[in-house]
Structure 1
Amino acid sequence: MFDGGDGFALLKDVDVRLSVELGRTSMKLKDILALNEDSVVMLERLTDEPLDVLVNGKVIAKAEIVTEGGRFGMRIVELANGARAPSEAAA
């Protein structure tokens, strides 16, 4: 049935949703309905705080935003288990 090799081999091609959360806030519905094109909504996260990286809604890492070729990207700075990202561990 199974060859006893890599137990995760069957899962490596499963699609998951990766998202980055910039921040959150709570608002009353009346305030949301009053939003317009020039509205600013303040989030609880500070500008120098790492962002949450989520897979299917579960935080797996912290990251910082980078830009490359006119596009946004992210650099992983910490994994959820507290380990440093591989590129930082070598530094």
Structure 2
Amino acid sequence: MNAITGDMPVDGAVAANFRLLQDVDVRLTVEIGSTHLTLRELLALGESSVIELDRQANELLDVFVNGTLIGRGEVVTVGDRFGVRMTELVSPEKRAAR
């Protein structure tokens, strides 16, 4: 802190603001693909139905935070659960352009 003006240094203010935000909950969503169905097609779905998506099997998955694309990744297993290994991050400039 500046003894004369009482102002915090810019780096200190940024660090303090970042610490405040670290515990804010966000929703992370991974999208494997999408498709359009008619209501008739949706109602015809059963337990053994297969829905074809608009993405190739070898394509990366889109990773969103609060609805904003932040990167892409691939499916991995972590013990007996699925996970996503991030392979690509979207720059803040590209996120703002969307």
TM-score normalised by structure 1 residue count: 0.81
Q: Deviations over 1:46-67 (max 9, x none)?
A: 1110000010111101000001
The percent identity for this pair of structures is: 51
Cα distance in 1, alignment partners of residues 71 and 22 from structure 2: 19
| 4+ aligned runs moved over 2 Å, structure 1 | none
After superposition, the CA RMSD in angstroms is 1.8
Residue-pair matches, total? 81
- What residue in structure 2 maps to residue 85 of structure 1? none
Unmatched 5+ residue regions in structure 1? 83-91
- Whether 1:18 aligns to 2:28 is yes
Among 77, 84, 97, the residue aligned to 1:67: 77
Unmatched 5+ residue regions in structure 2? 1-6, 93-98
- What residue in structure 1 maps to residue 52 of structure 2? 42
Higher normalized helix content (fraction of residues): 2
Q: Deviations over 1:17-67 (max 9, x none)?
A: 011111100111110011011110000011110000010111101000001
TM-score normalised by structure 2 residue count: 0.76
After superposing the two structures, state which structure 1 stretch, 23-32 or 3-12, moved more.
3-12
